[in-house]
Chains A and B, each alone.
Chain A
């Protein structure tokens, strides 16, 4: 069975700093998707970034980028020039290529301090 582990329950950084959230996963699959979702205090979930396992190039979306290490089964999220609006719970998620279900990590609560 697939599992997703986020080892940092909570983090705090100063505004404008760079922060990295870690995520590791366990799977025997070769084709799969990985996601980072942001859940702000409003509770709505927002897709931050997506990575297809067959792509070696790390995905980037503006200030958000990932470090995808397939062999190590690691998928960390880097937030550059952090902003107060980045304060949220961040979930790492895994989905097999046939997409029968999605597995979430338990989340990392990120606080951006002014």
Chain B
């Protein structure tokens, strides 16, 4: 079956702009979560959605937001972009609750590379 698909793969934005990233989970998966990866801060959890509801949220400012649609596809939005937002943004999907159950497998996409100039 198709894996987790993230679009766009690469993009360049200017400071102050906003950006929307998209994630299509594996068919049948209801949980989608987002992460930011940078060389300095490593991998950081942004938020998780399950059945269109945000369930968990990491320590990021309100400029970072997301949503999930009824087909489980998810979007992440970053408004008023800052240079420090340049990062690889990873999306992950899971059949059920993303981290909880033993045996639950989490699948990551290949990420969206965002460069803010």
B43-68 interface (Cβ within 8 A of A): 43-45, 56-59
Q: Number of A interface residues, CB 8 Å?
A: 21
Interface residue B42 (Cβ < 8 Å from any Cβ of A): yes
Q: Number of B interface residues, CB 8 Å?
A: 24
Interface residue B84 (Cβ < 8 Å from any Cβ of A): no
Residues of A within 8 A of B (CB): 33, 35, 42-47, 50, 52, 91, 95, 99-107
> Which of chain A's residues have a CB closer than 8 A to the CB of B110?
42-44
> Which of chain B's residues have a CB closer than 8 A to the CB of A105?
42
Main secondary structure of the interface of B (DSSP, over half): loop
| 0/1 interface trace, chain B 91-102, chain A, CB 8 Å (1 if under) | 010000111101
Among A33, A95, A99, A104, contact of B43 (Cβ-Cβ < 8 Å): A104
- Check if B92 sits within 8 Å of A101, measured CB to CB: no
Not counting A45-B106, A105-B42, a sample of 12 additional A-B residue pairs whose C-beta atoms are within 8 angstroms of each other reads: A42-B110, A43-B111, A47-B105, A50-B102, A91-B43, A99-B97, A99-B99, A101-B57, A104-B42, A104-B45, A106-B41, A107-B42
